[in-house]
Amino acid sequence: MIILDYKDTRPIYEQIVEKFKLLILKGVLMKDEQMPSVRSLAMELSINPNTIQKAYAELERQGYIYTIKGRGNFILDNGALLEKKKEELKERLLGLYREGREFGMKKSDFMDCLNAVKED
């Protein structure tokens, strides 16, 4: 489920956070589904359990998971998170559009680029 890239310059816990966020936003991990235990994931990834705990704490802080004492960590509803992510992507796209306009690109240039993308 989670594959770490040891060549990545980001800390391990950040990589774990990003991988879980992606799994949650894509709907691979569903609302109220239990996360792997800290101990089992640490053993699976061969890393310190404190690293997993730090990643889980960050996921909880960002609103992706919740904790039930003595039971574990669970996935929160991702509907609002997914909408927030889409809004962030739209803002980034608008930023690229504005930057392109500064260098003489036209709206039609962007539309041609988007039309060239094949849908799945």
Say what the pLDDT of residue 120 is: 67
**pTM: predicted TM-score of the whole model, two decimal places:** 0.75
Tell me the pLDDT of the chain (120 aa) as tens digits.
788 988 999 999 999 999 999 999 998 999 999 999 999 999 999 999 999 999 999 999 999 999 999 999 999 987 888 888 899 999 999 999 999 999 999 999 989 988 888 876
Question: Please, where are the H alpha helices in 26-78?
Answer: 38-45, 49-61
**For position 18, what pLDDT does the model report?**
95
- Which sign, positive or negative, has the C-alpha torsion 108, 114, 117, 120? negative
